[in-house]
Amino acid sequence: MFHYSTVVVVTDILANLVTFIAPLWIAVIFGVVVGWAWKPKWAIDPNNYDWKNTFFKIRVPWITHSDLQNQPDYSTTTTTTTSSGSCENEKGLKCIVNEHDLQNLCKLVEEKDGGPAWIQMMDRSTPTMRYQAWRRDLEYRSRTVFEDASPELVRDFFWDDEYRLRWDDMIVHASTIQECEVTGTMIVQWVRKFPFFCSDREYIIGRRIWDAERAYYCVTKGVPCSSVPRHSKPKRVDLYYSSYCVRAVKSRKDDQMTACEVLLFHYEDMGIPWEVAKLGVRQGMWGAVKKFDPGLRIYKNERDSGAPLSQCANNAKINTKVSADYVRSLEDSTSNILEMENQDSSDKPTGKSIPKLLVIGGAIALACTLDQGLVTKAVLFGIARRFGKFGRRL
């Protein structure tokens, strides 16, 4: 009798296990079949894939898909300028960082971009520097105030890639691909060192400065460049925006206009999970920021001693002059930026959506397989519901 009861119990256990595991194996087999039958174009031929028109459809408030589509694909690999003051492909350089970028930055500086509220995450200071930081999702905003520093010095300091290699230990390579003597627009390449668990990252950056009566609006953003081939390592970061405004402010010591403020707005898709990126930023932010001030002081001492300027520092002095009234008109203008964003978000292709039933069904199967607890199922169903909404947005 005891032996018979044991057999029944074991049989019931095996039957339950088969019932729970079968949906998971069905899902695995289905995934293998789909993966074998379908392969995305970027996996078949990554070098010839149209990354510019596909990857950049990810939404960033100050980077619209239409902007990136209109940017010229830069193909010049050497620095080219002429004695007449014009540069080859000047029109392309002027378009790659343009007035629309200036308008976006002006609205961000004056908090008129129409985005959600910023959440403060840091407020630290040293005797000669104060740093404040805010975030909203993976967008970051910071305010750095340097005591006893002119806007021109700070502008050159952050623009000088040759000197940056000395104080910023995350940058392992910086080179100029193209520059223009008329507007000061530059296309540069950076390679940034990441922690051991990530490969290094490559950036192709377009940048330009506008001078609004000693308030300097510095736009730097990722741009396409077919002449620099992609490699698996370092991995190229396509979505990159890091623009800032440099201007004089009152000192906290004597209330005179002897301090300099830098308002920075930063976003990049590093190709790692967002929560990991957020954690990395929170843990490493102050360690990176506190190098600004000693680097700036050494830079100032070298400039005062008559050290020659680098090519990048010279380019920082070539900028587009605009009036303060013009900047205010950009801040207050009712342009079609938000309308373009709304139009882009409403143009949702129906053929690329993830079937909600498939996502929810997979979550049910996974919940039954892993655990019969209500908490596990609730978490999985919540995740599935989010992915269902995400699938409709693709």
Tens-digit pLDDT profile for residues 164-189: 999 999 999 999 999 998 999 999 99
82 neighbors 233 (Cβ within 8 angstroms): no
214 neighbors 208 (Cβ within 8 angstroms): no
The residue that leads in pLDDT, 131 or 38, is: 131
Buried b (16+ CB within 10 A) or exposed e, 169-180: eebeebebbbbb
pLDDT attached to residue 276: 75
Average pLDDT over residues 222-237: 91
Q: Which residues contact 328 (CB under 8 A, 6 or more apart)?
A: none
Q: What is the token pair recorded at 69?
A: 């589509």
Beta-bridged to residue 129, according to DSSP, are 126, 146
DSSP SS3 for 265: strand
Confidence at 331, pLDDT banded by 50, 70, 90:
confident
pLDDT attached to residue 374: 40
The residue that leads in pLDDT, 378 or 196, is: 196
Beta-bridged to residue 240, according to DSSP, are 268
Q: Other C-beta atoms within 10 Å of 161: how many?
A: 23
Average pLDDT over residues 312-337: 85
DSSP SS3 for 217: strand
Q: What is the token pair recorded at 349?
A: 């292709």
217 neighbors 236 (Cβ within 8 angstroms): no
194 neighbors 41 (Cβ within 8 angstroms): no
The proportion of the chain whose per-residue pLDDT surpasses 90, expressed as a percent, equals 47
Whether a cis peptide bond, with omega within 30° of 0, leads into 234 is: yes
122 neighbors 264 (Cβ within 8 angstroms): no
- State yes or no: pLDDT of 77 exceeds 60: no
- State yes or no: pLDDT of 221 exceeds 90: yes
Pairwise CA distance, residues 364 & 356, whole Å: 12
Pairwise CA distance, residues 313 & 323, whole Å: 23
